[in-house]
Structure formats: C-alpha cells, structure tokens
Amino acid sequence: MFLIDQLILLGAVLVLLGILSSKLSARLGMPMLVFFLLIGMLAGEEGLGRVVFDSPEYAHAMGTLALALILFDGGLQTPFKAIKQVWKPASLMATFGVFFTAIITGYAASFVLPITIWEGMLLGAIVGSTDAAAVFSLLRNAGINLSLRLKSTLEIESASNDPMAIFLTIALLEIIVNQLEPGIGLLQLFVLQMGGGVLVGLLVGFLTIKLVNRIHLQTGGLYPVLVTSAGLLAFGLAANLGGSGFLAVFICGVMIGNERIAFQKTTFLFHDGLAWLSQITMFVMLGLLINPSSLLEVWWQGLLIAAVLIFIARPLVVFPLLKPFGFNLRELTLVSWVGLRGSVPIILAIFPLMYGLPNADLMFTVVFFVVLISATLQGSTLPWVAKRLRLLEDVPAKPAATLEITSLGDVDAEIVEYTLSPRSRAVDRRLARMALPEGVVVAMITRSDNVIPPRGSTVLQAGDNLFVVVKHQFKPMLEQVFSERGFTASNFPKELRLKGASTVSDIEWCYELDFPHELSDLTLEDLAKKSLPDQLAEKEEFSIGSTVIRVDELVGNRVTTVTLKPANSEA
C-alpha cells in the first residue's frame, strides 16, 4: 500500500513538473517533448530522483495507449477540407517517404554501428516516421502560422506515417528473428495493416456519431468518455484484426471531429487535456527508461546517424515526392526541415528489446539520442527557418468556436462565439449595421470583465466576444461578417437571407457586394417597394445589376425578409 502511495505522489510531481516546464519551453523556443524527456532523465536512476524504471514492456504498453490518445485528438482537430487538399502528397510521404528514409538511414547506420545490414534497416525503419505529437504541438501551440496546404501536409503526414514505420519494424524483426522471406507475405501484411486500419476507423467513427447524437445520457460529462472509448475501441478492434490501430484511431477521430455531435465543445476540450496528459506521461516515462551515461557512449555514432537522417535522407525523399504537387523550393525546404522524431521511434525501439535481439540495447540508445538531436535542433529552429524562408503568415482572426451544446438530436441551431480582431470589419460599427442574417440573435457581448447588453446602438470593439445563436447554414455568413476585410468564408452560400431593414451600404460593407452608389442609403425594403410598386408580394423577384432580390416574407405592408442571389444562380 505504501508503494502505491509513493507512485501516486511521484506521478503527480512529474506531471506537474512537465506542465510547468511548458512555460520554460515557450520562452527558450525548445519543443516541450525535449523538456519532458529531460525531466524523466533527471528523475531516473542516474538523475536526482534515483527512480529505478526498467520495464520495456510496461513502457511500450503505456506509450502505445498515450500515442493512441494523441492521434485521436489530432484526428478530432483535422478538418476534411485539409485532408482533401493534401491527401495525395501526405499519403506519399507517409508510405514511400518512410520507406526510402528507412533505407537511406539504415544503410548508413550499418556502417556507423557494429550491426548487420538488416539490423541497420531495422534502425532506419524505427526512426523513419515523423512524430505527430511533436508536429501538432509546434504548429498548433507555438504560434507558427503557415499556409493551410503546407500545415495540413505536415500534420497529416505525421499523423498517418506511423503505420508504415510500425509495419516495416515488425516485418524486419520477422526477417531477422524468424527468417521470414520477403515477398507476398509482407505484401499481405501491408494491405491488412493499412486496409484494416482505414475500414475499422471509418466504421467505428460513423457508428459513434450516430450513437452520440441519439443516446440520452444523464450527465454531459459522460459524452467525452463515450467518445474516448470509441476511439480506443477503433484502435483495439483494428489491432486485434491485424490492422493498424494507430491509423484506425486517427481516422475515427477525423470522422467524429467533422460532424456535429452533442456536447462537442466539452468533448474537444476534454480530449485536448487528455492529449497533453498523454504527452507528458509518455515522454517523462521514456526519459525514465534511459540512462544518460549510455547516451555518452554512442554520441558520435548518434550524431552521424542523425546528420544523415536530417540533412540527407529527409531532403532526398521530400523533394522528388512533393515537387510534382506544385510545392515551391521554399516550401520543400521547410517540409524537409520539419522531420521531427519523437515518441514513436522510442516506442518502436522497445520492440527489439522485447524480441531479445543481441544489439537491442545499442539500438535503443542510438534511437533515443537521434530523437533528442532531431527534436532539439529541428524543433527549436523551426520558427527561425520558417521566417527566413518567408513562409510565416499573419495569424487570422479567431474563427467561430462552438460553445457548450446541451441540446441533443437534430436541433438546427447552436451557440457560437466570435472574438473580434483589430482588423475585423465589425470593429467600430454599431450592431444594427452588421446586416446579420434573418433569425440570427446576438445573445451576449463580453468586453474585458464586463458584459455589454447587445442593443442595436452598441458599438463593437476589437477584442469583444460575441455569443450568437445561429442556424447552421448561416455560420459561413457570420464568419464573413465578423472577420477582416478581404476574407472569404469557406462554404459561403450563394443565397443570402437578410432582414428587410438592412441597408445597401451595410450589405456592401459586410459581404463585399457591389450595388449602384445611389442606392447606398436605401434598405432592402425600400428597394422592394421601389422596384415592385404594383406587385409587392412574397416570392416576387427583381434585379439590381447582377444581383437578384426575392421578397421572402411580408407582414402587412412591411418587407421583413429578403433573399439575395447572383443573377445566374438557379432558383
């Protein structure tokens, strides 16, 4: 009992140190995984904590669980739009990229280390994949804002290349240990791993969406737990059927994250915290597993292998695979540099220990050293490299964020929050002049620590948080209204359903439409009455330039709602 109490205390202290180190990481520009590893090493047998931890099996089990949760959270935050845009280059990097990286690095390792060519290829396969946790952490939490295509390529590659590295590692171990002949058997294993992972991820994700939106649980706190269980079910089911659990859990996360589910905001926040806890626990535990003195014994071999991996293998793979997709030289250079290695290589390096390979300890130590060098060198210099390559972009205005949704089923409305940036077109304008869609209600405005009553006369300011009740089809219009000028919301509708009291000048300002200058002071109701003096009725249409205006609703002689659409659009 006393031992359990000590373990709980030790775990809490290490996690707290990991969280606090994130502040130091941001100040020094170092990836957080490096600090987490160093904390583990300091707490280890040769460090200040003198904690003895020598269980590769336990480390492998805990690391696999943590990585599954990290990938699941990454999937939840990956939009379909990003996948559709870059799935071809990302999939090539996740398969052929890992394969050729393993060959080049492994061939060099067989010369640098006293190991066979097959063992060298095994080491190359182990360090062949980039790390999703490290890439997600840097690109999403370090203020590095890249173009959507470039960022999506890096993130989706890192999230989907683990199955290939795992497949190569297992296949090479079978060749080395069990003398498996390369051939049709390996091809079948590859198809089963990839195909099984995709199918299970899609199936579990689809069923989870249906279940979450139909089941009525007694408390909202159970919904995030239900989604987590579904992600782990996808992983376990795929792994037990011979497929890739990591690919399945990522795809399951993508499926769920791109659909409306009950308590969505709560679920996303829960998994964000769970992913951070998983990262801290995993890296600290892996740091406990290594003895710093052993790293000093292989420092020059580790440096050579890391140099080959970073400066030779990664660029030789990136340039020919991504050049056909229109990436320019600066983008290819950045992708070559963002080849961060992290938890996956260390976890895979445990496999030779479990298989009992003679050189397993040497390979584990070298892999750990390579990961430290890669994460420290590439991770800490990424902002500088991106800036030198002129690939950093301005951080856009904060997009709409869905708040806590307590309604279930197919209710066609939700509450969203908008934070106005200094460049937002809504800044310094009265709320009544924002030409909001019909049926949209601004429920509350917060400014610093104050709550501002949302009246038509309220002047909006930069930094204001607007809480808006909106139907789903109107969300792209709100993105347009509250973002900076020149921004065009994704999925912006062809038809705009607006209030009859909206003026032409306000519509021009908010939606960047062009109307004759002499009409600027008129409302849509004025235009309707002027254009349809004798036949003012619902569903009647008239044209102003290239825009067709349809009267949708009349209350007495008042035009309350109209719809704007391009003249060439279908009714």
Element (H, E) at 193: helix 184-214
Give the pLDDT confidence score for residue 332 in this predicted structure: 92
- Give the end of a domain, one of 428, 459, 493: 493
The proportion of the chain whose per-residue pLDDT surpasses 70, expressed as a percent, equals 88
pLDDT at 498 over 90: no
Q: Residue 367 in 3-state DSSP?
A: helix
pLDDT at 526 over 90: no
Mean of the per-residue pLDDT values for the chain?
Answer: 82
pLDDT at 437 over 70: yes
- Cα separation, 410 vs 182, in Å, equals 52
Supply the DSSP symbol for 325.
G
For 492-495, the CB contacts below 8 A with 24+ separation are 494/565, 494/566, 494/569, 495/563, 495/564, 495/565, 495/569
pLDDT at 394 over 60: no
Cβ neighbourhood burial of 409 (10 Å; 0-12, 13-18, 19+): exposed
| Domain shared by 416 and 527, yes or no | no
Length of the chain: 571
Report whether 200 contacts 240 (CB < 8 A). no
- CATH code of 449's domain: 3.30.70.1450
Q: Residue 562 in 3-state DSSP?
A: strand
| Domain shared by 130 and 197, yes or no | yes
- Cα separation, 143 vs 137, in Å, equals 10
| 450-452 β-sheet, strand order | 401-402, 414-419, 465-470, 441-447, 450-452
Give the pLDDT confidence score for residue 110 in this predicted structure: 92
**Which band of pLDDT confidence, cut at 50, 70 and 90, is reported for residue 183?**
low
| Domain shared by 424 and 539, yes or no | no
Lowest mean pLDDT among 284-288, 339-343, 411-415, 427-431: 411-415
| Domain shared by 295 and 278, yes or no | yes
| Domain shared by 311 and 457, yes or no | no
Element (H, E) at 442: strand 441-447
pLDDT at 70 over 80: yes
> What secondary structure, in 3-state letters, does 411-439 show?
CCCEEEEEECCCCECCCCCEHHHCCCECC
Give the pLDDT confidence score for residue 405 in this predicted structure: 46
| Domain shared by 214 and 83, yes or no | yes
| Domain shared by 168 and 153, yes or no | yes
- CATH code of 503's domain: 3.30.465.10
- CATH code of 350's domain: 1.20.1530.20
- Give the end of a domain, one of 345, 367, 388: 388
| Domain shared by 366 and 446, yes or no | no
Lowest mean pLDDT among 55-59, 67-71, 256-260: 55-59
Cβ neighbourhood burial of 520 (10 Å; 0-12, 13-18, 19+): middle
Query: Could you report the per-residue pLDDT of 9-49, keeping only the tens digit for each?
Result: 777 877 787 677 666 665 555 667 777 788 888 887 777 77
Distances in whole angstroms, Cα of residue 44 to Cα of each of 56, 288, 340? 14, 5, 25
Give the pLDDT confidence score for residue 201 in this predicted structure: 93
| Domain shared by 382 and 417, yes or no | no
Domain span at 103: 2-388
Q: How many CA atoms lie within 13 A of 280 on its CB side?
A: 18
| Domain shared by 180 and 93, yes or no | yes
pLDDT at 187 over 80: no
pLDDT at 481 over 60: yes
- Give the end of a domain, one of 460, 493, 526: 493
| Domain shared by 464 and 552, yes or no | no
Give the pLDDT confidence score for residue 16 in this predicted structure: 80
Report whether 73 contacts 93 (CB < 8 A). no
Domain count, the chain: 3
Q: Say which residue, 545 or 94, is predicted with more confidence.
A: 94
Report whether 219 contacts 57 (CB < 8 A). no
pLDDT at 548 over 60: yes
Average pLDDT over residues 386-406: 62
| Domain shared by 486 and 502, yes or no | no
Q: What is the DSSP track for 454-472?
A: --TTPBP-TT-EEEEEE-G
pLDDT at 412 over 70: no
Give the pLDDT confidence score for residue 1 in this predicted structure: 45
pLDDT at 204 over 80: yes
Cβ neighbourhood burial of 571 (10 Å; 0-12, 13-18, 19+): exposed
**Which band of pLDDT confidence, cut at 50, 70 and 90, is reported for residue 122?**
very high
Query: Could you report the per-residue pLDDT of 207-228, keeping only the tens digit for each?
Result: 999 898 888 777 777 888 899 9
- Chain centroid to Cα 157, Å, comes to 11
Supply the DSSP symbol for 523.
B
